[in-house]
């Protein structure tokens, strides 16, 4: 009954969050803002422009434009990912699972297209996906539903027949608002936070998702119309 599986990218398919944090610490230092990992975690899942704006509002600077800071962060992360990024645990198995069941797969990411393509080439997973879509090409980025609605439209499926995988609260809001079944895969440090309670299913790792979990999702989908 599931007609498409749609995946977030950063922190879900690729272990990119440490690279984002390292680059943010380095770039924000150029505007006099000393960051650490815990500060960076506050904005996990937000688009880069929203991250820059968040910190500018708390610690304004005058020596660089917000656009310049954001562009440098993306450029530096791109370089890090191209060289060093690794797949998150469970990625090959979950992609094989959906492929074996003949369910089309797509990526719906807040990152720009060139970064999405750098990741899929780095991880050698391009052949699994029907398409990939960036929220930067939509009117609104996550947590708005635009990128998920746009991805479903490009796939030619109704959002309610899609299952979306997300690791961040903002991304989960995006998929949930699009009307999709959702699987939350939060990081350890925020696994128990209530923002993930809206998920159809919550698991600690993609390794936990198997045929049994897929059937649970499909069972919930089969009864959903009767409860609306």
Phi, psi of 181 (to 5 degrees): -65, 145
Gap between the Cα atoms of 145 and 66, Å rounded? 25
Is 8 a residue of the active site? yes
Domains of the chain: 4-15+87-227 (3.40.50.1000), 17-84 (1.10.150.240)
Q: pLDDT below 50 — which residues of the chain? A: 226-228
In this structure, how many other beta carbons lie within 10 angstroms of the beta carbon of residue 226? 6
In this structure, how many other beta carbons lie within 10 angstroms of the beta carbon of residue 123? 21
pLDDT of residue 148: 98
pLDDT of residue 227: 38
Work out the angle at residue 213's Cα, subtended by the Cα atoms of residues 170 and 118, and round it to the nearest 5 degrees.
50
pLDDT of residue 1: 86
Question: Is residue 48 within 8 Å of 70, Cβ to Cβ?
Answer: yes
Q: Contacts from 21-24 at CB under 8 Å and sequence distance 24+?
A: 22/80, 23/73, 23/76, 23/77, 23/80, 24/51, 24/73
Using left for φ > 0, alpha for ψ between -120 and 50, and beta otherwise, residue 76 falls in alpha
* pLDDT tens digits for range 147-179: 999 999 999 999 999 999 999 999 999 999 999
pLDDT of residue 225: 53
Using left for φ > 0, alpha for ψ between -120 and 50, and beta otherwise, residue 102 falls in left
Helix (H) or strand (E) holding 48: helix 48-58
Is 10 a residue of the active site? yes
pLDDT of residue 44: 86
Set 10, 15, 49, 167: catalytic member: 10
């Amino acid at each position: 009954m599931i007609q498409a599986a749609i995946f977030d990218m950063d922190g879900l398919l690729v272990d990119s969050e440490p690279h984002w944090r390292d680059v943010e610490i380095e770039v924000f230092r150029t505007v006099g803002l000393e960051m650490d990992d815990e500060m960076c975690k506050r904005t996990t899942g937000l688009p880069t422009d929203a991250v820059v704006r968040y910190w500018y509002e708390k610690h304004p600077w005058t020596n660089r434009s917000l656009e310049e800071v954001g562009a440098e962060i993306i450029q530096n992360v791109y370089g890090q990912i191209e060289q060093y990024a690794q797949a998150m645990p469970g990625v090959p198995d979950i992609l094989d699972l959906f492929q074996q069941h003949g369910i089309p797969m797509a990526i719906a990411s807040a990152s720009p297209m060139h970064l999405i393509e750098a990741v899929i080439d780095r991880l050698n997973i391009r052949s699994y996906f029907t398409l990939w879509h960036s929220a930067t090409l939509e009117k609104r980025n996550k947590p708005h539903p635009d990128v998920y609605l746009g991805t479903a439209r490009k796939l030619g499926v109704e959002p309610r027949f899609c299952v979306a995988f997300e690791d961040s609260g903002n991304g989960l809001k995006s998929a949930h608002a699009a009307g999709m079944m959702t699987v939350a895969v939060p990081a350890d440090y925020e696994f128990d936070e209530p923002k993930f309670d809206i998920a159809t299913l919550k698991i600690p790792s993609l390794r936990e998702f198997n045929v049994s979990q897929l059937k649970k999702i499909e069972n919930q989908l089969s009864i959903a119309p009767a409860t609306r």
